[in-house]
Amino acid sequence: MTSPVYLFDLASRQAQWLAARQSTISGNIANANTPGYRARDVQPFADVLDKTKLAMAATSSSHIGFDASRPDTAKVKKADTWETVYSNNSVSMEQELIKAGEVDRQHSLNTSVVKAFHRMFLSSVRT
- For the full predicted model, state whether its pTM sits above 0.95: no
- Banded pLDDT at 16 (limits 50, 70, 90): very high
Looking at residue 78, its pLDDT comes to 47
CA nearest neighbour of 93 among 52, 45, 37, 54: 37
CA dihedral defined by 27, 28, 34, 39, rounded to 10 degrees?
A: 130
What are the extents of the domains in the chain? Answer: 8-50+89-127
Q: What is the DSSP letter of 79?
A: P
d(C-alpha 110, C-alpha 40), whole Å? 23
d(C-alpha 34, C-alpha 29), whole Å? 10
The tens digit of pLDDT for each residue in 62-117 reads 766 544 444 343 333 445 555 555 667 888 889 999 999 999 999 999 999 999 99
CA dihedral defined by 38, 102, 54, 23, rounded to 10 degrees?
A: 50
Q: CA 48 from chain center: how many Å?
A: 9
Q: What share of the chain is helix, strand, coil (3-state, %, to 5)?
A: 50, 0, 50
